[in-house]
């Protein structure tokens, strides 16, 4: 069975009912508790976490390990129990992306990852010491651009 997602960005979409994720405690600073992950293909670098309730609300997210190979998510045992995550290997992790006009200004929020398991999503506060709110995604763009200018 499918459900209809109305989106100001993508128009009217029919998505499988099982693609709708429940966020029992919502997302930090945002209304609504039902979202869907939208991607052009299974290997997309960036996907959209789109509200099922608000046709204008879609947040770009990404798998943090595509950009930060040493990234870690640390939760207290109490937090893991509260959200029902007991198998890290069965949990998908995404981080929100702040887009900007230039690539070197794109950044990811590593401090508040989104964990998804069994059709439920939870945004948590990462206890890892090196988890900034704004981690640059494309630091090599500025460096390689500067090097290209110097070499010219």
Domains of the chain (ranges, CATH numbers): 2-151 (2.30.290.10)
Mean pLDDT for the chain overall: 89
Tens digit of each residue's pLDDT (9 = 90 or more) over 14-40: 999 999 999 999 999 998 999 999 998
Could you read off the pLDDT of 47-80 as tens digits, one per residue? 999 999 999 999 999 999 999 999 999 998 888 8
99-103, 110-114, 142-146, range with the lowest pLDDT: 142-146
pLDDT for position 49 = 97
Whole-model pTM: value is 0.87
Q: What CA–CA distance (Å, rounded) separates 101 from 66?
A: 21
């Amino acid at each position: 069975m499918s459900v209809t997602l109305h989106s100001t960005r993508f128009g009217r979409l029919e998505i499988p009912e099982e693609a709708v994720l429940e966020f029992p405690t919502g997302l930090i600073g945002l209304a609504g508790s039902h979202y869907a992950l939208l991607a052009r293909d299974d290997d997309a670098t960036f996907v959209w976490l789109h509200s099922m309730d608000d046709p204008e609300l879609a947040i770009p997210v990404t798998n943090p390990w595509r950009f930060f190979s040493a990234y870690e998510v640390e939760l207290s045992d109490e937090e893991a129990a509260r959200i029902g995550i007991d198998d890290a290997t069965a949990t998908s992790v995404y981080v929100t992306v702040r887009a900007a006009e230039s690539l070197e200004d794109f950044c990811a929020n590593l401090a508040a990852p989104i964990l998804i398991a069994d059709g439920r999503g939870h945004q948590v506060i990462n206890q890892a010491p090196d988890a900034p709110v704004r981690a640059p995604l494309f630091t090599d763009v500025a460096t390689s651009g500067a090097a290209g200018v110097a070499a010219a």
